[in-house]
């Protein structure tokens, strides 16, 4: 099976949330799911709100990321998790 690169956009509930804590916990969930976190960016959204944009690689045989999204969304201070991009890795 091929590898896929998934991009999550994690929105905090409010501007003063601890993004580092959210990132650490989300990375742990991704590792437990079978993924490997590559790049993490903080993207300004507006009104002081900053989203976490996390890219990770996983084997496509793992299937849907819905269960992973649900786990991350249940974290304290997380308002939503959205898959913004899915690409098949070539090479």
Do residues 4 and 87 touch, judged by C-beta distance below 8 A? yes
Do residues 63 and 57 touch, judged by C-beta distance below 8 A? no
Q: Give the Cα separation of 86 and 15 in Å (integer).
A: 27
Domains, the chain, in order of start with CATH, read: 3-88 (3.30.70.60)
The structure tokens 């890795």 sit at: 89
pLDDT for residue 73 = 97
Q: Read off the pLDDT band of 17 (50, 70, 90).
A: very high
Concatenated DSSP letters of 14-55: STTS-HHHHHHHHHHHHHHHT-EEEEEEEEEEETTEEEEEEE
Query: pTM for the complete prediction?
Result: 0.94
pLDDT tens digits for range 46-83: 999 999 999 999 999 999 999 999 999 999 999 999 99
């Amino acid at each position: 099976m091929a590898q896929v690169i998934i991009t999550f956009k994690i929105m905090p509930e409010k501007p003063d949330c601890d993004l580092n804590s959210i990132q650490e916990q989300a990375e742990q969930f991704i590792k437990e799911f079978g993924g490997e976190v590559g790049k993490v960016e903080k993207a300004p959204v507006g009104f002081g709100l900053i989203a976490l944009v996390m890219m990770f690689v996983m084997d496509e045989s793992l299937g849907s990321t819905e269960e992973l999204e649900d786990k991350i969304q249940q974290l304290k201070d997380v308002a939503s998790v959205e898959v913004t991009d899915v690409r098949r890795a070539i090479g």
